Amino acid sequence: MIVSGPASAELARKIAKALGQESIEVENKTFPDGETYIRLDKEIKEPVIVVQGLQNPQNDHLAELIFILDLLDRKGVKKIACVIPYYAYARQDKIFKPGELDSARTIAKLLKAFNVSFVVTCDLHFQRKEGKFDLFGIPAYNVAASELLVEKAKEEFGAVTVITPDLGSTEQAKAVGGKTLSKKRLTSFEVDISGEMDVKGKNVVILDDMVTTGGTMVKALNLAKAKGATKAIAAFTHAAFAGEANQKLKAAADSIITTDTILSEYSKVSVAAKLAEATKKWKS
């Protein structure tokens, strides 16, 4: 049975359809003071797959997820997997400075405390390779969207050259025969990108896991154009836009392609079928 969280209703419906399962929506609302209300007044049959992304507003969606999991627990449901298309705090998977928290681990701890025994993610920032992995003690499977994104770019522009903007995306680049550049973050909004770019007269796809402020993507697109690229295409999995990212991207890119992990006007490819397939790895 699929339980569809408020953050990912459309994706949950598609996943349920792909699996030939029933999808149950939870009732939700936000109280005037900002608190979260969740209700699930249906008979639940185990095993259950909860689909809930943790995109902005991350903390609200996290509260919704935890409340859904606790509701299932109160109903005696013990076999639970989660599909978390966008896993928040994924860039805080390590303690970089003393006194900090690796918040990505905190989320996993919460999931574990509520009986979650398998997690499916998509282009998780610290696990960009497709396949099984250990999510801080929970068996997990990460789905990669790179091929779908690049296929879409080819559909729009024909032959393309793929470039990823930083070493963290090396696995993404490898999966689609792309080349990786090197990035140095100067501030939260500004980055410096270096590396060889032989793109004169080519249609260039800049491939990344996410766009937040747009600093990385816009810098790479402009660099490609400055080096003579014919078209500069932004392709990324998660449209986790912050501030002016959308406007900045629109001005810099000839086309913008993203997935439906976070719905936007650029959600041109769906990862639903891949996420559905990945749930079959769960040994409930």
Q: Is 146 in the site for ligand R5P (CB under 6 A)?
A: no
Beta strands in the chain (DSSP E): 2-4, 23-25, 27-30, 36-39, 48-51, 80-84, 116-122, 131-135, 138-143, 161-164, 179-180, 182-185, 191-194, 203-211, 231-239, 255-259, 267-269
Q: Is 260 in the site for ligand R5P (CB under 6 A)?
A: no
Q: Is 68 in the site for ligand R5P (CB under 6 A)?
A: no
Q: Of the two residues 81 and 221, which places its CB atom closer to ligand R5P in the complex?
A: 221
Q: Of the two residues 92 and 279, which places its CB atom closer to ligand R5P in the complex?
A: 92
* Residue numbers 212-251 binding ligand R5P by CB under 6 A: 212-217
Q: Is 6 in the site for ligand R5P (CB under 6 A)?
A: no
Give least dist CB 200 to ligand R5P, A. Answer: 24
Q: Of the two residues 100 and 244, which places its CB atom closer to ligand R5P in the complex?
A: 244
* Residue numbers 98-117 binding ligand R5P by CB under 6 A: none
* Residue numbers 155-184 binding ligand R5P by CB under 6 A: 165-166, 168-169
Q: Is 261 in the site for ligand R5P (CB under 6 A)?
A: no
234: which strand partners?
206, 256
Q: Of the two residues 53 and 165, which places its CB atom closer to ligand R5P in the complex?
A: 165
Q: Which of 61, 59, 69, 76 is nearest to 28 (CA)?
A: 61
Q: Is 209 in the site for ligand R5P (CB under 6 A)?
A: yes
Question: 86: burial class by Cβ within 10 Å (0-12, 13-18, 19+)?
Answer: buried
Give least dist CB 88 to ligand R5P, A. Answer: 13
Q: Is 195 in the site for ligand R5P (CB under 6 A)?
A: no
Residues catalogued as catalytic: 183
Query: Token match 């032989």: residue?
Result: 198
Backbone angles phi, psi at 76, to 5 degrees: 85, 10
- Provide CB contacts within 8 A for 18, sequence distance 6+: 272, 273, 276, 277
Backbone angles phi, psi at 142, to 5 degrees: -105, 130
**Region binding ligand R5P by CB under 6 A among candidate stretches 34-42, 46-54, 210-218, 271-279:** 210-218
Give the residues lining the site for ligand R5P (CB under 6 A).
165-166, 168-169, 191, 208-217
